[in-house]
Structure 1
Amino acid sequence: MANGYRPEIIQRAFVDFIGSRLHPFWSLTTPKLRLIARYTLSDNLIALRFETNRAFKQQTSEMMGGWQGGQYLDLRVCIDGVYHQRSYSIVGLAHQPLWWLDDATERHTADQRHTVTIAIKPQGLVSDYLTKQMPLASVVDTSLPLGNFTLEQTSILRQQISENKQPSPLLFIAGGSGITPMLGLITQALSNGHQVTLLHYSRTVSSKLQHQWQQLSDIYPDFIYYLIHTEDPTTYLAVTRYLSAEGLLSLNLPLADTQIFACGSQALLAGLYKAAAEITLPIDEQLRDKIIVENFGNALANVDNDSNQIFDKTIPVEEHTVYLRSRQRQFVSDTTILTAAENADIRLAYGCRQGICQLCRCNKVSGVVKNVQTGKVSGDGYESIQTCINIAMTDVVLDV
């Protein structure tokens, strides 16, 4: 027998199979969550707290030492015998007490159980089931924390770290339940010494969220927040309920050095890019290049590079051919690649269809695509793309 080869006498998969029959929460390899509590954060936002199993704790610790603010989990939920997969934002940071748990006993219990909490807006089959119907102590399979909507991915921050510069100002813009990935991000940014400004556009008032922002403001003098309630003119920036260039300028931030994180509907993101196009920065700089987005909703925005504006309407795109190299199939596309494939009765992998869960990501061999969320145009060579948020600008070859 060759040196170094140590066969498993009992396969881990077999042990997992037997263990899952004895107890559904037990697994050596599969991360699982067990529901232990629900909390109402606002009229349209529910937090679910889960106990994590040993596989989740071990793999999360080994890979990243926890998770970063802004990340999410893919949950695999069984409803009436059918499995559904959905993505939900993680609230807060690893080992960070939840701010709405005022009872000391509950805080201690949460810490002891190594919990993770997600936030959900009840608006569909899976979300309604999780927030209203799934019994406490139910077990679901989960991914490890995922997503690049984090502080570490920004070019400004990476440059400052390499050059040992002072942390840059950060501007967080959220619409409605788009605030959920911001909860951990903002806490992490403040603890790293950033000046942080928050704009939260919402139709409802949440006392729990307001309490959180006020607590952070009391602890960190460099944290400023604006809660814009769309039905209350006294809360508007620059006398308008919508995001505008005048509103951004009224914040008196050094926008040329500010990284912007935005999460919300397509209408909110369209307004942000339109406002960014109207603000002049030093030569060779555009404010839109300093924006990182995490979005929800399926409406497509029309990106017009000549005017640097995004309008909330259908995209007029020329037809191009998309080739699937591995399958030896092809189809014509004048919308997102995923939608065009489905129109041609070709099934591609997908999840959220919103550019969040990454399940549709594949490798582009050649051709140019445009991201419908950001308006950025790709190169012509080999790179990873998401089919649900990219449109073909030339003929495209995918390694699918």
Structure 2
Amino acid sequence: MNARVLPAVRRRNPLLPRNWVSEELFDFWAGQVHPLWTLRRARARLVSREAASADAVTLVLRPNRHFKGLQPGQHVNLGVEVDGRRLSRSYSPTLLDDGTLAITVKTVAGGAVSQHLSHAAQPGDVFELGAAFGEMTLSTVPAAPLVLLAAGSGITPMRALLRQLQAAGVPGRVELVYWAQTREALCFVDEFNALAARHPNLRVHLALTRDPLNPAVRVGDYDFSALGDLSAAQVMACGPAGFVESARICLQGQVAGFHAEAFSPPATNDVAAETGTVQVELRRSGRTLELPRGTALLAALEAEGLRPASGCRMGICNTCVCGKVSGVTRNILTGEHAAEPASQVRLCVNSASTDLILEL
């Protein structure tokens, strides 16, 4: 008779901290000894803070060993405690030579996180760090022309990409076009100009939309022919959704490739089909809400005083994903409807088209 082979039993190692204390308790007491000591969680300590422009500040953060790193151009979610509430926002860090992360925050009127980071955060403060996400990266340094288009906070991933190109010697032609409202709102200009002075393949172009001394130059009016032949160029654009869409339209058919990330979702164009309200049942909390159609579910839930987990707010990081039991949602980025039951929905970029049941 053949002996029955039983699966090996994994024995708990009583010496491992995770087997004799909860992660939350371990992190709390370890944090009393050193602010970055945790069992598994990635955290970062604020090292310094300095003004980047008239309305932006750069924070330098020291991550702990649990942070898995990132590629230039990617984003991370930064967890911040404001007035006793844990909030999360997405930023694009630049990895500095000493292993610290530089995150530049544009101060937004009424923005709880940006106001806190710009005015209240002090060296020594500790933040949660999410895993890196985003696909606007360079796996290899291109030899073909590369055009970087940035508006407002969209300049932060471009800074990281330029540092990557600098490390490779900027072997190919690179055109950076950077939009801001005024000259005082520009970030890193001295750094970019210094890079351009050292690398003839890099050119920096500034476009100001509210400069009293110069005509307003919005992306839709920009003369891209001044950049030279772009037929073989790859374009990477980052900024508000309207900026990205205008750039895409202007360059359609004129470039070899266009890749973009927008940090605000565009308004739905099908307003007539998305008016009125629907009933949204939150199964876990036992609540039923009347929410407007055509409004992103995350924004609609926040307007009701709820605080679902969220991060990038532009449909990339998946922090706000939750289960949808039934109903039809509409992706406000693409206009597509999704009616499959028992599926996942990203709250930040989907609105309710019919009554819904969500696992919230």
What's the TM-score, normalizing by structure 2? 0.74
Match of 2:73 among 48, 64, 70: 70
Mark the CA change 1:379 to 1:292 in structure 2 (over 3 Å): closer, same or farther: farther
Task: Tell me which residue corresponds to 2:175.
Answer: 197
Matches within 5 A, 1:282-361: 290-296=258-264, 300-303=266-269, 315-318=271-274, 334-338=293-297, 342=301, 349-352=308-311, 354-355=313-314, 357-361=317-321
**Greater Cα shift, 35-44 or 346-355:** 346-355
Amino acid at match of 1:69: P
Change in 2 beyond 3 A, CA 1:197/1:234: farther
Identity %: 26
What are the equivalent positions in structure 2 for 1:175-254 lying under 5 Å apart?
175-189=151-165, 191=168, 193-205=171-183, 209-232=188-211, 241-244=217-220, 247-254=223-230
2:62 aligns to what? 51
Question: Paired residue for 2:137?
Answer: 151
CA contact (8 A) 1:323 1:396 kept: yes
Letter in 2 for 1:334: R
Partner of residue 119, structure 2: 132
> Alignment partner of 2:91: what SS?
strand
For structure 2, the 5+ residue unaligned runs are 1-5
Aligned mates of 2:219, 2:350 — CA distance in 1: 25
Q: Kindly indicate whether the alpha-carbon contact (under 8 Å) linking 1:173 and 1:260 is maintained by their aligned counterparts in 2.
A: yes
Q: Match for 1:292: what amino acid?
A: A
2:88 corresponds, among 62, 78, 85, to 85
Structure 1 position 367, deviation (Å): 9.1
Q: Distance in 2 between matches of 1:167 and 1:365?
A: 48
Take 2:303 and 2:62, find their aligned partners in 1: how far apart are those partners?
43
Q: Report the residue type matching 1:268 in the other structure.
A: F
34, 54, 59: which one aligns with 1:23: 34
Report the Cα distance in structure 2 between the residues aligned to 1:205 and 1:135, rounded to whole angstroms: 28
Letter of the 1:215 counterpart: A
Q: 2 CA distance for matches of 1:129 and 1:217?
A: 34
Alpha-carbon distance, 1:252 to partner:
2.9
Cα deviation, 1:6-53, whole Å, max 9, x if unaligned, reads: 313143335434322333332231222111111212111211112222
AA at the equivalent of 2:159: L
Alpha-carbon separation, structure 1, partners of 2:196 and 2:217 = 24
Consecutive unaligned residues of structure 1, counting only runs of 5 or more, are 61-65, 98-110, 282-286, 305-314
Asked if the contact 1:270/1:301 (under 8 Å) is kept, the reply is: no
**Residue identity opposite 2:55 in structure 1:** N
Give the counterpart letter for 1:265 in structure 2: P
* Aligned mate of 2:105, from 90, 114, 120: 120
Post-superposition CA distance 1:315-370 (Å, at most 9, x none): 44346989889779898863145158639969683425731553223477999866
* CA separation of 1:137 and 1:43: change in aligned 2, threshold 3 A: same
Identify if the C-alpha distance between structure 1 residues 28 and 397 changes in structure 2 by more than 3 Å, giving closer, same or farther: closer
How far is the alpha carbon of 1:272 from its aligned partner? Answer: 2.3
Aligned counterparts of 2:289 and 2:279: Cα–Cα separation in 1: 6
* Secondary structure of 2:223 counterpart: helix
User: Deviations 1:89-127 (Å, cap 9, x if unpaired)?
Assistant: 21x23xx43xxxxxxxxxxxxx2xx32221111222222
1:170 to 146, 163, 181: 146
Number of aligned residue pairs: give it. Answer: 339
Q: 1:339 to 1:130 in 2, by over 3 A?
A: closer
**In structure 2, distance between residues paired with 1:148 and 1:353:** 10
User: Which residue in 2 is equivalent to 1:387?
Assistant: 347
2-structure distance, mates of 1:50, 1:260: 30
SS at 1:241's partner residue?
Answer: coil
One-letter code aligned to 1:389: V
Give the RMSD, CA atoms, in angstroms: 4.2
After superposition, the Cα gap between the structure-2 partners of 1:215 and 1:201, relative to the gap in structure 1 and judged at 3 Å, is same
Letter in 2 for 1:35: L
SS in 1 for 2:260: strand
Aligned to 1:6: 11
- Could you tell me whether the CA contact under 8 Å between 2:244 and 2:262 is conserved in 1? no
Q: Return the letter of the residue paired with 1:196.
A: V
> Does structure 1 conserve the Cα–Cα contact (< 8 Å) formed by 2:294 and 2:353?
no
CA distance in 2, matches of 1:15, 1:325: 33
Find the aligned partners of 2:83 and 2:49 in 1 and give their Cα distance.
22
Tell me which amino acid in the other structure corresponds to 2:153: S
In the alignment, the residues of structure 2 paired with residue 234 and residue 248 of structure 1 have an alpha-carbon distance, to the nearest angstrom, of 22
Name whichever structure is richer in helix by fraction.
1
Match of 1:37 in 2: 48
- SS in structure 2 opposite 1:181? helix
CA gap of 1:340–1:166, structure 2 versus 1, over 3 A, is closer
TM-score between the two structures when normalised by the length of structure 1: 0.67
Residues 38 and 250 (structure 1), Cα distance of their counterparts in 2 relative to 1, 3 Å cut: same
- What do the CA deviations read for 1:239-259 (whole angstroms, capped 9, x no partner)? x6111266234423434x433
Q: Distance in 2 between matches of 1:377 and 1:24?
A: 45
**1:236-279 per-position Cα deviation (integer Å, ceiling 9, x unaligned):** 7xxx6111266234423434x43332222344234324434xx4
Distance 2:256 2:269 in 1: 12
Pairwise CA distance, 1:213: 1.3
